[in-house]
Structure 1
Amino acid sequence: MKDLSFSTLQELLHAKSGPLTRELLRTPSEFGLGQLPSSQLPDATTNMVCGYCSTGCGLKIHLKDGDAINLSPSGEYPVNRGMACPKGWEALTVLDAPDRATTPLLRGSNGKLQPVDWHRAMEEFVTRMKSVQSQHGPESAAFISTGQMATEEMAYLGALTKFEMGMLHGDGNTRQCMATAVVAYKQAFGFDAPPYTYADFEESDVLVFIGSNLCLAHPILWERVMRNPHDPEIIVIDPRQTETAMNATQHLQVAPKSDLSLLYGIAKILIDNDWIDHEYIDEHTSDFESFKDFVQQFEIDHVAAETGIAVEQIHRFAKTIHSGKRVSFWWTMGVNQSHQGVRTAQAIINLALMTGNIGKPGTGANSITGQCNAMGSRLFSNTTGLLGGHDFTNPEDRTKVADILKINESNIPNENSWAYHEIMEGILKGKIKALWIACTNTAHSWINQNQARDILSRLDFLVVQDIYHSTETAQLADLVLPAAGWAEKEGTFINSERRIGRVKKVRHAPGQALSDFNIFRLITKYWTKDKTSNCGDLFDRWASPEEVFHSLKEISRGTPCDITGIDNYEMLDEAGGIQWPCSEQCDDDNTAGKQLPATERRLFTDGNYYHADQRAKFIFEAPRPLSEPTSDSYPFTLLTGRGSASQWHTQTRTSKSAVLRKLYPNDPFVEISPTDARRLGIQENDLVEVVSQRGSMTAMAFLTHSVSLQQVFIPMHYEETNKLTDSVFDPYSKQPAYKACAVSVRPSQRTS
């Protein structure tokens, strides 16, 4: 190993000025951390993708002396075309918050988090992790990752934990948003493969949104819908009259979680009227006849009674699909976060398949992702699947990955990790003793919050790695590792339409905060300083994010997500992002690098899927009732979702912006129908108490007809919301069912 020079350490720790800690400088030759190459930044501007949602907008970063001072939306980037939502405009501002984590924090004997240097933090991390594993076995330590770090950072973390540290169990917060879509696609198509491109928003003549409030959750994509020149029919299936539903030509205001029955009923109408594409079904699908027999039980009167939708409305919906020449189906969390989300997603896929609305412009069964890099997490995080969309349980896949990375195959687990909720249950059962949480806020976002916090408190060692020391989860930690944020590091994100875009370091992280990539490198050096690495020289070779990217390219070779045709990061800049797959012979056998891939590329244009027979499968199952129906004690169904275009998840970042805070209510509110409010003696702006079997919260009453009788809605962003939600999970995706549980509402004894 090469010695670690003083200047290299300064680069690694992003020090703005002054010497590094004496402890870290004392024996630099032990660590051999190579210097990361500096970004080649233009004098005036550089382009990169936004770090908030999965839309993946291009932003133009304005620089002075190489540092970011402002930003504007890129007019050339094929995703947003000069548009940005409020969060994007404020993406740099939130990095300047006073509660940024700037130094490691260690909980002392007095029970308080105290600043320590990196050497002490690393010694504590390694000593306590190894102690737990020594006493309770390697599987007693686990990690929870994220869909918000760069792809290369996720891959490094997954390799470090599973190949080097011996952890078996690790999952990501992508489990909370996209696991349902992943499983639905894998089972139906043979691979996790969203087929569309954003141009389809503008090319459909019928757009169907199921459980998706696109106006608020993905406002730039809604702008793409508004640019559609075909005067499209816009159909929204949602229990609430959301902002998207208000702009629809048809709103089917279904009873909560009755959408699966509705979709089966629509399939029956299409089949009974012979409004299906027989040629496509015969040539490109399997199991249709079984599906045809199955849906015969969904008589329209039964479906109308279950969903609360009039028979005439259901018929109109089916006829609109039949009349459309280019029909696209879109879903987000309203489908994914359900006790039967996978089968609902597959019911959507079934409609696209049986009508031939897939693989062509303006069509598709299209899942819109949540987090900025959830797609990167799905394919390259080494959590739910082996790197590059491979399978931990497949010997051939393990051999391939081991050979490419030049590591011993025995270091790769031959079984799958527990899912997020199983890791939490493992803590409760005493099987998981140490947990490393990186770039997510479990104590706020996990379902049934009171129980989640109790579970985290039972750990022997909790490490939290985040850009703010103030998150609810960081406040519970034994050790806090300060991380750099978006725009303070290098790497790539993959958006909903499979487009890989660049993230660049255009400013320094504050204090001694490190990029997640360099935190992982530092941990690697401390973990292996007294022994030979289990992975040979892998982590020495992975000295920069781009080196990891090149390894991931080779791992992807021959897979549906093949990206071997992407020469380097600069090619991503030149092309305006590149959608996978992009093999070395992509785009009509024009060698990548000599001719850039087309800006917009769909999957399944040839009707061939990723199963061995190249056919898509019709998959179906009888609907199941809500696990927690309403009762006399809890007569309301609680719905949760996006509160405004200016809020993001647990508000860890958006709450730091004064501009964004002005664009949404600071205090929690609950939407309730005026009729229910009048019956309960509740007036507009009264404080009310919302209670479930798990907890309660106080919120301001907002009287609105957007929610139906005996339903209430609370935005997911407020800390208290998940005190109410129930620990129920889809049996296939193991995704939490945040969207529906039983609650009561009563006037609060508190005064405003």
Structure 2
Amino acid sequence: MLRKLLKQHTGPLTADLVLEPGHFGLGRVPKRLKPASTATAICGYCATGCQLKLHLDDDGRAINLSPQAGYPVNLGMACPKGWQALDPLDSPDRATTPLLRNEHGEMMPVGWAEAMDAFVSRFKNLQEKLGRESVAFLSTGQIPFEEMAFLGCLFKFGMGFIHGDANTRQCMATAVTAYKQAFGFDAPPYTYGDLEESDVIVLVGSNLCIAHPILWQRVMRNKRSPRIIVIDPRATETAQAATQHVRLKPKGDLALLYSLAHCIVRDGRTDAAWVERTEGFDEFAAFLHDYAPERVAEKTGLSVEEIESLARTVSEPGKRVSWWWTMGVNQSYEGVRAAQAMINLALITGNIGKPGTGANSITGQCNAMGSRLFSNTTSMVGGHDFSDAAHREKVAAGLGIPVENIPSDYSLAYDQILAAAEEGKIKGLWIVATNPFHSWIDSGRLAELREKLDFIVVQDMYHTTESARVADLVLPSAGWGEKDGCLINSERRIGTVKKVREAPGIALSDFRIFRLIAHAWGCGDLFARWTDPEAAFHFLRDLTKDRPCDITGVEGYEMIDRLGGIQWPYPATNPPSGNERRLFEDGKFFTSSGRAKLLFSPPAELPEAPDSAYPFTLLTGRGTSSQWHTQTRTGKSDILRKLYPQEAYVEIHPADAARLGLREHEMVTICSRRGEMRASIYIAPTVQPGQLFLPMHYPEVNRLTHPSYDPHSRQPNYKACAVAISKT
């Protein structure tokens, strides 16, 4: 019955399934297994952080899974990706041995000793010739934070390089920057329980039904009959299910949010007590004079009446209002200010620090929050600052590393690393558990960049990714389910992953690869304490002492599992109670004054607006809940592949299709000033006239996107650029 059902779900607007134990027999455990033959692990896809129960055979090998019924995140539910989480481990294109490119350009299998010789000799040669800025790493939000920390500390404190960034720059840098600037620390304030306790839920650039389907189920559990408002140019699945769809123009969000604040301040609908807990209110109120609904109506595509009505809805006294955003805001040339505009609205109306409220960023990758605290990229491990001498001394003492090994300057951001490579300043690149040759904006530039790099190392589960195919050295790594460690989800909850399979061939966990590299590089003594992930967890935990993310009260992995995950902060002194907690209940923030900052600046124009040559605005986003990023893993599952179209498709409004003489399923060419691609037509009123939508998962899509960035976060602007469409 399941396969029959899946065959029916292949179109672009598929009804994505959220399955519970017992649906179609998926939750049944084979009879030969004993009830005790199980383990648990947090799902390795999105940052919802669902816990899965893994059913083991007599050898301790996972052969099936089901959602964990009592876990406070998913409450016994899983999306299609979670149900099929084991499938990618069995793919025939797994990297099983190191591969080294020979003098003829061929990738040849080698042993770990030869791989380490090549790694060390090539990177050390670059360092000796060009210095500590000659090599950079690009890492991930999808490995345990113990491994992230090991990579960052090894590269910067042991190997002596400086530049490294994670692919969380592509999804979460905007939220990180917005929170740091406004609250004094990267501190998402909410708990998932707030979705069930709001009277008004405002989703901005967030297709929750598809990108985070379990969180949509949490919304559906809300017994307060909430008003669900979706602000999005496209009639997404979430917009269609919501109470109200605010169908604004692409990137009209910042002007709209300022206009809502204008109406609220003008009408005296602010919360005086919470305004006192902010800095800059008078300046903000003066700034808002220019954002009357009449003045922003054209930019937003909304009527004055729509803006006034929405302003009243989100500031109604006594109502709990929560603001939620994901990539539609983050992946923008002015995403930081849009996020801070929502933070401002929550602050001035008193909708923060209380049940059902908050300005809440929903994270993309399973361990993006772990990356934000421990990857040693934008901040120093444990939520510290590279430029703070006291922080460097604390981290050095905690890790047993000479303080002079810790740089005081910051790394280049992701786009700046690639620009430095184009300029010849960076000649070596180490790519760990990510696929930038598919996922980076204006990806055609990377093909040219490849010729300017002397040595590329790709460390991945698969030897077939776009990035692995251009590497000089491929290091085979274990995947989710083949190693231990911790992930941190969107609501700051730490959960564990478990080793329930052996990695194929001679592939190793990233943690063990880093140990090998430390030894081969000659800095193994500095990392002698990094014996295994849980050992690393303990001293990384201790580094968080007295930081807002303090988790010194967490004894270890067993305690995390026993308590159903643990949200930070969880200090050793006076640890909090309850398994769902929000921040700022006391109205105190992490700034020097203890007050939140109201931050704002005028909206900017689109970096690339439509014109006569490229008359359409291209939107990109999640396709279905069965697709994930570059499909490196979801593409390995027979079942998941049945739940989405295998070839790229483009959504176009019926009026535009009729005007251009385009028919359903006809092949067309979409081109921008940077590249072109082919796709089949999907005619749907989900997009507005003059707009096109492409799912981001297909490798051709990022040939089109525009290389512009938020000036505060350096996050790429994936969501809007100018394109043309024509028959193929």
What TM-score range do you get, normalising by the shorter chain? over 0.9
Verify the 8 A CA contact 2:192 2:215 in the aligned structure 1.
Answer: yes
Within 5 A, what are the aligned runs for 1:119-138? Answer: 119-138=113-132
Structure 1 position 98 matched with structure 2 position 92: yes
1:735 match? 715
Verify the 8 A CA contact 1:691 1:697 in the aligned structure 2.
Answer: yes
2:8 match? none
Structure 1 position 503 matched with structure 2 position 497: yes
- Write the letter of the residue equivalent to 1:127: S
Q: Give CA deviations for 1:165-202 in whole Å, capped at 9, x if unaligned.
A: 11110000000000000000000000000000000010
SS at match of 1:541: coil
2:381 corresponds to which of 383, 387, 397: 387
Within 5 A, what are the aligned runs for 1:308-707? Answer: 308-323=301-316, 325-528=319-522, 533=523, 537-587=525-575, 597-707=577-687
Within 5 A, what are the aligned runs for 1:67-106? Answer: 67-106=61-100
Q: Which structure 1 segments of 5+ residues have no match? A: 1-40, 589-596
Report the alpha carbon displacement of residue 110 of structure 1 after superposing the two structures with TM: 1.8
Deviation larger for 149-158 or 43-52: 43-52
Q: Taking structure 1 as the reference length, what is the TM-score of the superposition?
A: 0.91
1:6 match? none
Verify the 8 A CA contact 2:158 2:526 in the aligned structure 1.
Answer: no
Give distance in 1, aligned partners of 2:725 and 2:192: 41
Give distance in 2, aligned partners of 1:225 and 1:457: 49
Verify the 8 A CA contact 1:328 1:366 in the aligned structure 2.
Answer: yes
- Write the letter of the residue equivalent to 2:654: P
SS at match of 1:251: strand
Report the alpha carbon displacement of residue 602 of structure 1 after superposing the two structures with TM: 0.5
- Write the letter of the residue equivalent to 1:542: W
1:295 corresponds to which of 281, 285, 288: 288
Give distance in 2, aligned partners of 1:496 and 1:564: 20
Report the alpha carbon displacement of residue 407 of structure 1 after superposing the two structures with TM: 1.4
Verify the 8 A CA contact 1:457 1:476 in the aligned structure 2.
Answer: no
SS at match of 2:516: helix
Give distance in 2, aligned partners of 1:543 and 1:249: 53
Give distance in 2, aligned partners of 1:456 and 1:612: 45
Give distance in 2, aligned partners of 1:187 and 1:377: 18
Give distance in 1, aligned partners of 2:314 and 2:126: 57
Verify the 8 A CA contact 1:576 1:599 in the aligned structure 2.
Answer: yes
Give distance in 2, aligned partners of 1:482 and 1:456: 21
Q: How many residues align?
A: 693
Verify the 8 A CA contact 2:396 2:402 in the aligned structure 1.
Answer: yes
Q: Give CA deviations for 1:444-494 in whole Å, capped at 9, x if unaligned.
A: 000001102221332100000000000000000000000000010010000
Give distance in 2, aligned partners of 1:453 and 1:640: 22
Verify the 8 A CA contact 1:139 1:166 in the aligned structure 2.
Answer: no
Report the alpha carbon displacement of residue 538 of structure 1 after superposing the two structures with TM: 3.7
Within 5 A, what are the aligned runs for 1:162-177? Answer: 162-177=156-171
Verify the 8 A CA contact 2:363 2:489 in the aligned structure 1.
Answer: yes
SS at match of 2:328: helix
2:701 match? 721
Give distance in 2, aligned partners of 1:507 and 1:577: 22
SS at match of 1:551: helix
Q: Taking structure 2 as the reference length, what is the TM-score of the superposition?
A: 0.94
Report the alpha carbon displacement of residue 311 of structure 1 after superposing the two structures with TM: 1.8
Verify the 8 A CA contact 2:511 2:533 in the aligned structure 1.
Answer: yes
Give distance in 2, aligned partners of 1:212 and 1:475: 33
Q: Give CA deviations for 1:111-169 in whole Å, capped at 9, x if unaligned.
A: 12111111110111011110111111121011011000100000000010000111110
Q: Give CA deviations for 1:476-534 in whole Å, capped at 9, x if unaligned.
A: 00000000000100100000000000011011011111000000001111111xxxx3x
Verify the 8 A CA contact 2:326 2:362 in the aligned structure 1.
Answer: yes
Give distance in 2, aligned partners of 1:446 and 1:722: 7
1:112 match? 106
Give distance in 1, aligned partners of 2:574 and 2:382: 18
Give distance in 2, aligned partners of 1:104 and 1:407: 30
Give distance in 2, aligned partners of 1:545 and 1:538: 16
SS at match of 1:719: coil
Give distance in 2, aligned partners of 1:303 and 1:428: 40
Report the alpha carbon displacement of residue 341 of structure 1 after superposing the two structures with TM: 0.5
- Write the letter of the residue equivalent to 2:184: G
Verify the 8 A CA contact 1:186 1:193 in the aligned structure 2.
Answer: yes
1:709 match? 689
Report the alpha carbon displacement of residue 43 of structure 1 after superposing the two structures with TM: 4.6
- Write the letter of the residue equivalent to 2:660: L
SS at match of 1:473: helix
1:591 match? none
Report the alpha carbon displacement of residue 746 of structure 1 after superposing the two structures with TM: 0.6
Give distance in 1, aligned partners of 2:345 and 2:90: 47
Report the alpha carbon displacement of residue 308 of structure 1 after superposing the two structures with TM: 0.6
Structure 1 position 140 matched with structure 2 position 134: yes
Give distance in 2, aligned partners of 1:567 and 1:578: 11
Q: How much identity, in percent, do the aligned residues show?
A: 59
SS at match of 1:688: strand
Give distance in 1, aligned partners of 2:619 and 2:130: 41
Give distance in 2, aligned partners of 1:188 and 1:586: 26
Q: Give CA deviations for 1:549-582 in whole Å, capped at 9, x if unaligned.
A: 1111111000000000001110001001000000
Verify the 8 A CA contact 1:62 1:70 in the aligned structure 2.
Answer: yes
SS at match of 1:139: coil
- Write the letter of the residue equivalent to 2:207: N
Structure 1 position 153 matched with structure 2 position 147: yes
Give distance in 2, aligned partners of 1:159 and 1:498: 23
Give distance in 2, aligned partners of 1:643 and 1:456: 29
Deviation larger for 474-483 or 448-457: 448-457
Give distance in 1, aligned partners of 2:530 and 2:404: 20
SS at match of 1:689: strand
Give distance in 2, aligned partners of 1:386 and 1:42: 43
Report the alpha carbon displacement of residue 42 of structure 1 after superposing the two structures with TM: 9.1
Give distance in 2, aligned partners of 1:355 and 1:134: 57
1:187 match? 181
Structure 1 position 232 matched with structure 2 position 212: no
- Write the letter of the residue equivalent to 1:50: C
SS at match of 1:196: coil
- Write the letter of the residue equivalent to 2:615: P
Deviation larger for 185-194 or 304-313: 304-313
Give distance in 2, aligned partners of 1:247 and 1:296: 35
Report the alpha carbon displacement of residue 585 of structure 1 after superposing the two structures with TM: 2.1
2:40 match? 47
2:300 corresponds to which of 284, 300, 307: 307
SS at match of 1:335: helix
- Write the letter of the residue equivalent to 1:97: S
1:204 corresponds to which of 193, 198, 203: 198
Q: Give CA deviations for 1:360-418 in whole Å, capped at 9, x if unaligned.
A: 00000000000000000001000111111111111111011111112111100110000
- Write the letter of the residue equivalent to 2:293: I
